Amino acid sequence: MLKERLYDYLLHLGDNSMILGQRLGELCGHGPELETDIALTNISLDLFGQVRNYFQAAAAIKGDGATEDSIAMLRYENEYKNTLLVEQPNDDFAHVIVRQFLFDVYHQLLLKELMSSKDETIAAVATKSIKEVNYHVGFSSTWLKRLGDGTEVSHDKMQEAVNKLWRYSLELFKPTDTEIWAAESGVGADLDQLKPIYLEKIKMFMDEATLGLPEATVFQYGAKSGRHSENMGYILADFQYIQRAYPNMKW
């Protein structure tokens, strides 16, 4: 039972970064300028590097010939533990930045807690990854302020993105049974404790960007339990194609 819980928690940790990394990978060659294009691609690579570490550990627990590749790419849609937020499409650069920012602030808080995890592998991954995620927060928050407090057009586009994406943010802090187990056992973070810190930091950055959080938001949940949006199927169609078309292929 302990191994099953730990395996499931590693999927929780890896899937958000993996699906967001895939979304950012779609932007390679499509950034608004060369430097930003390269930065988004590098953030994607950072996230996939973290995923590899989580899924190598998960494969060792699962056994039966499981690999990081099979865990990443050969599950069914309802077996992925990522949130609705990271599934959302790259509608425009404003949506890319707001989605990234909302995740980055959460990710930074999460990793700071995981650095003290009782699981040595999780603690090591968090300690290594926090430097990367600190950069991610700097990147997305800088663009949030630059565009939010920029021209009238950039402000309106950013506000529109906030209005659309904010509804998906708090699913990050709605714990599943596995995340509750992880917090109680000292393996994972207590999401209930992180939530008010997150809201305070988000509000601070939004104020600096002259952006407002929508009132009376109906928040959306369910993806961490396998109830994903229609976007997830399209993501997996691209993400899983090679592995399913050429089973057991090795580079």
237 contacts: CB under 8 Å, gap ≥ 6: none
Q: Please say whether the beta carbons of 55 and 10 come within 8 A.
A: yes
- For the record, the structure tokens of 105 come out as 């602030």
Question: Which DSSP string do the residues of 159-221 spell out, in sequence order?
Answer: HHHHHHHGGGGGGGGS--HHHHHHHHHTSS--HHHHHHHHHHHHHHHHHHTT--PPSS-----
pLDDT tens for 73-88 read: 999 999 999 999 999 9
Positive or negative, the CA dihedral 119, 225, 103, 25 is positive
Greatest CA span in the chain, whole angstroms? Answer: 57
Start-end of H helices in 26-166: 34-62, 68-73, 84-87, 93-114, 120-148, 152-165
Output the pLDDT for position 250. Answer: 67
- Spatial CA neighbour of 46 closest among 123, 131, 105: 131
Tokens of 195: 């939530």
Q: CA 16 to CA 19: how far, in whole Å? A: 6
Residue 24: enclosing H or E segment and its boundaries? Answer: helix 2-25
- Tell me the domains of the chain and their CATH numbers: 2-245 (1.20.1260.10)
Whether 140 and 162 have beta carbons less than 8 Å apart is answered as no
Of 120, 135, 163, 111, nearest to 43 (Cα)? 135
Beta carbons within 8 Å of 72's beta carbon, 6+ residues apart: 14, 18, 51, 55
Tens of pLDDT along the chain (251 residues)? 688 999 999 999 999 999 999 999 999 888 888 889 899 999 999 999 999 999 999 999 999 889 999 999 999 999 999 999 999 999 999 999 999 999 999 999 999 999 999 999 999 999 999 999 999 999 999 999 999 999 999 999 999 999 999 999 999 999 999 999 999 999 999 999 999 999 999 999 999 999 999 987 889 999 999 999 999 999 999 999 988 888 877 65
**Residue for token pair 């109906």:** 218
Q: What does the pLDDT read at residue 135?
A: 97
Cα 4 to Cα 68: distance, rounded to the nearest angstrom: 16
pTM of the model: 0.95
Closest by CA position to 203, among listed 191, 218, 213: 213
Distance CA 19, CA 77 (A): 12
